[in-house]
A and B are shown apart, each in its own frame.
Chain A
Amino acid sequence: MGLIKWARTKSPWLLHFNSGGCAGCDIEVVAALNPKFDIERFGMLLKGSPRHSDILVLTGPITFQIKNRLKRIYNQMPEPKFVIAIGSCAISGGVYRGCYNVHEGADKVVPVDVYVPGCPPKPEAIIDGIIKVLKNYEKATP
């Protein structure tokens, strides 16, 4: 089991999903992929297909319209899978909280493993969040 756990913590592949945010968080997620921060150092790659990815990077508030699509994409990912909520919007609704068309937080729709606060959070914080997911997974499995 040790080898598989090592492989899983060393090669997390990300799927980026904007569920209706202002694109501020998305710019920061993209910045984390850029040469300056370069998350490929940790073996992370951005993948287009949910079937290939391990970590769902959620940004923005969950609107009523996108809720079912989000659930579907989450179900399409193979186990083991993790979800990170990036930004105040994904955590609680943020500036959109109380709007007629948004849920108050991503954890109302899909199970969230790590929350990264900020509006928008810095790329360093996003990288830290992803590393935290992997650390938690390492601790949780024997």
Chain B
Amino acid sequence: MVQEAIISLLQIVIFPGFLFLILAAFFYEWVDRKFVARLQNRYGPLHTGPRGLLQPFADFLKLLSKEDIIPYAADKLLFSAVPIFLLSLPLTALFCIPIINSTALISFEGDLILVIFITTIIVISVFIGAWSSTNRFSTVGGMRACLQMLGYEIPMTIAMAGPAIVAKTLSISKIVQWQTTGLWFILTQPLGFIIVTICFLAELQKIPFDIPKAETEVVAGWLTEFSGKKLALLRLAEDLELVLAGSIMASLYLGGPAGFSFMPPFVWFIIKLTVCILILSNLRALFARFRIDQLMRGVWKYLTPLALLQIILVELIPW
């Protein structure tokens, strides 16, 4: 009884809980930066730790130790609360993803809906952060973030329903378990995978969709007024969102920790997560920024009908 309690506590705090997830967030920020740098024929971070591996950690520490400015006109309570919201939301969602074996730490019927709901709450928190800093650039950036992220949520949710319909469950762990016996969903629903990838690029505000943060137009978008500790937490939250996006893609479409038995399931999960994050950063290096009208046309004219088509295909061909 006591042993079980200690084990579950260790699972939540160390592995695969908080410590592991935060270290993974730092590691994948490095992977992302290094990979994009290599695609652009650069070196990327090089002198901070071995091959620049400690760069995200150095950035985090530096920001933590900097002066923390709260603008005079800002709504102080909300302004200070938003970084904490934004950090805790992706962490909560990551607990629903199966990492070490095919059952997650928190798993119940309907946790897919919870994860989708959390991505929506992230958008709302972004908007609150932008609004409470009462800066013109922040407000414009927050509006753009809402427009883009709420828009792209629609095709993403429809496409994510595909695996759920075939596996006849709304629990991510059960979808993963279904894939250990059946085919991976990337083989039967490649269209859904592509749609989810594009939507996650928009959710993460990565480069073809970095309209809310466009430096040439709105300084740093909704992040403009955040400095010091708050910016450190927000950057960590962004890295966690990247890990969350990669692990949702890996569990819904690539079978999560399932794999051949010569390696432990956890290693398979890390390999798949890395592949997904490399896809996201590769697309980031390929494109220039979209205009706002192109963004809206993309979601309503192409992605939503394609996502609906995917659902119809799933209904017609029940694999």
Which residues of A are in contact with B by a Cβ distance under 8 Å?
3-4, 6-8, 10-11, 35, 38, 40-43, 47-49, 51-52, 54, 76, 78-80
Contact = CB atoms under 8 A, between A and B. Distances in A.
A7 B58 contact: yes
B231 A7 contact: no
24 contacts: A4-B62, A7-B58, A7-B59, A7-B65, A8-B65, A10-B48, A10-B55, A35-B40, A35-B41, A38-B44, A41-B42, A41-B47, A41-B52, A42-B46, A42-B47, A43-B59, A49-B224, A51-B69, A52-B220, A52-B226, A52-B231, A78-B227, A79-B66, A79-B67
A49 B219 contact: yes
Interface string B215-241: 100011001111110010000000000
Given A6-B58, A10-B48, 20 more contacts: A6-B61, A7-B58, A7-B62, A8-B62, A10-B55, A10-B58, A38-B37, A38-B42, A40-B33, A41-B42, A43-B45, A49-B223, A51-B220, A51-B224, A51-B226, A52-B227, A54-B66, A78-B227, A79-B67, A80-B67
A35 B66 CA distance: 29
A4 B37 contact: no
A31 to B, nearest CB: 13
Contact of A78 (B42, B61, B66): B66
Given A4-B65, A11-B58, A80-B66, A43 B47 contact: yes
B42 to A, nearest CB: 4
Nearest to B227: A51
B80 to A, nearest CB: 15
Contacts of B215: 48
A100 B54 CA distance: 50
A116 to B, nearest CB: 21
Contacts of B227: 51-52, 78
A49 B42 CA distance: 24
B115 to A, nearest CB: 30
A43 B48 contact: yes
Interface string B68-82: 110000000000000
A78 B42 CA distance: 30
Contact of B47 (A10, A47, A76, A79): A10
A78 B43 contact: no
A43 B61 contact: no
A116 B41 CA distance: 28
B286 to A, nearest CB: 16
Contacts of A6: 58, 61
Nearest to B57: A7
Contacts of B228: 78
Those 3 A-B pairs whose CB atoms lie nearest each other, nearest first: A7-B61, A78-B67, A48-B215
A80 B227 CA distance: 12
B31 to A, nearest CB: 15
Interface string B171-204: 0000000000000000000000000000000000
A62 B45 CA distance: 33
Nearest to B214: A48
A41 B65 CA distance: 22
Nearest to B215: A48
A40 B33 CA distance: 10
A91 B214 CA distance: 32
Contacts of B33: 40
Contacts of B61: 3-4, 6-7
